[in-house]
Chains A and B, each alone.
Chain A
Amino acid sequence: MTTTTPRVWRRPPILIQDKRWRIAIYGGLVLYLIAAMASIEVDWVRVYTGLERGWRFVQGFLQPDFTSRWSDISQGLVESLTMTVTSTVVGVIISIPIGIGAARNLAPLPVYAVCRAIIALSRALQEIIIAILFVAMFGFGPFAGFLTLSFATIGFLAKLLAEDIEDIDARQVEAVRATGASWWQLVNYGVQPQVMPRLIGLSLYRLDINFRESAVIGIVGAGGIGATLNTAIDRYEFDSAGAILLIIIAIVMVAEYGSSTVRKWVQ
C-alpha cells in the first residue's frame, strides 16, 4: 500500500479572508479594549466610603418600612397603575392604524413613509427625555407620565405590529382578495386573524414595560411611584425606599406571570 500525504483541511475563515487584515483588525480591537479599560478612573477611597451608604440601603431593604409613609406610597402606586393602564390602552389604540400603515404589503408608499417616520421619531427619543420635555410642557404629575408612556408605546407596538403584518402568510390574504373583498374586509379576514395573538401578547408585554417605566420617569417628575421613591431617597429614608422597591418588584413579577399566562392562552 502506498502512503500518501494526508490532505489537510481547515475551515475557511468566514468574515475576513485575508490573514493580514484579520490580525490587524482583531489585534486592533483587543488593544482598544485594553486602552479603554485603562482609561476608566476608579477612586478606591470613594468606593470605600460609599460602601457604608450602600450598606444602609441594604439594611433598609432588610427592614422595609411600609407604614410610616404608607399614604404617600399608596397614592403613588394608584397614580402609577392608572398611568400604566391608560397609557397602554391609548397607545395600543393609536398604534394599530399606524402599524397597519407602516406595513409595506398593505399600505401605499406615501402612507408607509409617514407611519414609519412617526415610529422612528417615537423610538429615537428615550422615555426619560420625552418625560423631561412633557414635564416642562405640562408641569409635574401623572399627566406628563401618561403622555410619555403613550408616546413610547406607539413606537414600540406599531413597529412590531408592522413587522408581524409584513411576515403574514400572503396566500391566505390572496385567497380572501380573490373573493372580491374590499380593503377593510381584507384586513379583517385575511390579516387580523393572523396577527391577533401576537398583538395581544405584545400589548400585555408593553403593559409590563409601562409599569416599570412609570417608576423610572417618576424620578424626573412625571408622577407616580417613581416620584414617591425619589422623595424617600432624597430624605435618606432608605427603609421606606426599600418598601417601595419591594412593592415595585412584586407588581412587576405579578404582571410578568399574568401576562405570560394570558399570552399562552391566546396562542
Chain B
Amino acid sequence: MLTIEGLTKTYKTGDKALKNVSVSVPSGQVVGLIGPSGAGKSTLIRCINRLVEPTSGAVKMGDSDITRLSRSELRRARRRIGMIFQEYALVERLTVMENVLSGRLGYVPFWRSFTRRFPQESVDKAFALLERVGLGDHADKRADALSGGQRQRVGIARALEQDPELLLVDEPTASLDPKTSRQIMRLILEICRERGLPAIINIHDVVLAQDFTQRILGLRAGELVFDGAPDALDEAALTRIYGEEDWTAMRRRSGDEEPEHHSEREMVERLEGLA
C-alpha cells in the first residue's frame, strides 16, 4: 500500500510542479497517471523514490515514510521500488544480462557488482526473467544492439530483478510503434497481475491508459483534478485535465476498437476476481 500525503514540489526556479497531491494506491492496483506535458507527472513518480526531492509532504510505503529516510535507508527503500523508463534508459554499452543484473545493485556489495560475480540465485532469476519477457537468447548481446521493444523488455526485466513491491513506470511507450506499445503495456499488466504488484504508469496516450489500467489519475498544473475508473473519464473530465478541445474524434476512435478493449478489460477484472 502506497500513500502519498500532501506532496508538494517547488523547483529552485520557483516553479510549482506539484501542489499538495494526496492519493493512495492499494496493493495490486495498476494506476494510470495522465495529464498534459509539464503537469508534473514525471515529478510525481520521481518524488516517490526521491530521484527528485519533494519539498514537503509524505510518501508512505507500508509504515515507513520515504521522505524521512537517511541515505542508506533510502537505498534500501529504492531497491523495493522498480522503475521503468521512457526510452528505456538502459546502459547501452553493457550487455543485456548486466543491465538486468544491475537491478540487484542495491542488494550486493561493491566487489560483487564490480567483478560481476552476482549470487547464483540472482543470475537464475535474471535468466528466468529474460525468458519471461521473451529475450532468453539475447543475454550476452549489447543493449544497444536490440530494437526499441526489446530494450523496453530488458527495462522491465531490470525492474523486476529488484523484487519490487511497487512499480513506477514513466512513459513506457513514448518511442514505440502502436503495436509494440500495446504489447509492452500488456506485458507490464500481466506481470503486475502475476505478482499482485501495484504500479503507477505515467502515460500520454489516454486510450492506452483507459484500456490497460484499473484507475486513472488526472494531473493538471501540479494538481490532482481527476481520480476515478477508466470508464468515468468522459469529455468533461478530459476537458478538466487537458483544457478545452473537441474530444469526439478521440472518443470515436477508441469506440471503434471497442470489442478488443472490452475483452482486455474484462480479462483484467476476471483475474482480479480470482485474486
Contact = CB atoms under 8 A, between A and B. Distances in A.
A179 B110 contact: no
Given A185-B110, A189-B105, A178 B49 contact: yes
A193 interface: yes
**5 nearest CB pairs, A to B:** A180-B106, A180-B79, A180-B78, A175-B89, A181-B105
A179 B113 contact: no
Given A185-B113, A189-B94, A193-B94, A177 B51 contact: yes
A190 B91 contact: yes
A193 B98 CA distance: 11
Given A182-B75, A185-B114, A189-B94, 12 more contacts: A171-B89, A172-B92, A178-B51, A178-B81, A178-B83, A179-B158, A181-B102, A181-B113, A182-B105, A189-B102, A193-B92, A197-B93
Contact of B93 (A180, A185, A188, A193): A193
Interface in A166-206: 169, 171-172, 174-182, 184-185, 188-190, 193-194, 196-197
Nearest to A185: B105
B262 interface: no
Contacts of A182: 75, 105, 110
Sorting the interface of chain B by its residue count into under 10, 10 to 19, 20 to 34 or 35 or more gives 20 to 34
Nearest to A190: B91
Interface of B: 49, 51, 75-79, 81, 83, 85-87, 89-94, 98, 102-107, 110, 113-114, 155, 158, 162
Contacts of B110: 182, 184-185, 188
A124 B86 CA distance: 43
Interface in A38-76: none
Interface residues of A, number: 21
Contact of B91 (A172, A180, A184): A172
Point out which of B87, B102, B114 has the most chain A C-beta atoms below 10 A from its C-beta: B102
A181 B91 contact: no
Contact of A194 (B86, B89, B93): B93
Contact of B162 (A169, A174, A180, A185): A180
Contacts of B94: 189, 193
B85 A175 contact: yes
29 contacts: A169-B92, A171-B85, A171-B89, A172-B92, A174-B51, A174-B89, A175-B83, A176-B91, A177-B78, A178-B51, A178-B81, A179-B79, A179-B83, A179-B102, A179-B105, A179-B162, A180-B77, A180-B106, A180-B162, A181-B105, A181-B113, A182-B105, A185-B113, A185-B114, A193-B94, A194-B91, A194-B92, A194-B93, A196-B93
A177 B79 CA distance: 10
A97 to B, nearest CB: 16
Chain A, interface SS category: helix
Contacts of B81: 178
Given A184-B110, A189-B102, A175 B90 contact: yes
Contacts of A196: 93
Nearest to B104: A179
Contacts of B75: 180-182
A175 B130 CA distance: 18
A208 B251 CA distance: 66
Nearest to B77: A180
Nearest to A171: B89
A174 B87 CA distance: 13
Contacts of A185: 105, 110, 113-114
Contacts of B91: 172, 175-176, 189-190, 193-194
Point out which of A176, A178, A193, A197 has the most chain B C-beta atoms below 10 A from its C-beta: A178
Contacts of B89: 171-172, 174-175
B81 to A, nearest CB: 7
Point out which of B81, B94, B162 has the most chain A C-beta atoms below 10 A from its C-beta: B94
Nearest to A172: B91
A188 to B, nearest CB: 6
A38 to B, nearest CB: 55
A190 B83 CA distance: 15
Interface string A102-125: 000000000000000000000000
B12 to A, nearest CB: 15
A193 B162 CA distance: 21
A175 B92 CA distance: 12
A179 B85 contact: no
Given A185-B110, A193-B91, A176 B79 contact: no
Nearest to A197: B93
B259 to A, nearest CB: 37
Contacts of B87: 171
Contacts of A189: 91, 94, 98, 102, 105, 113
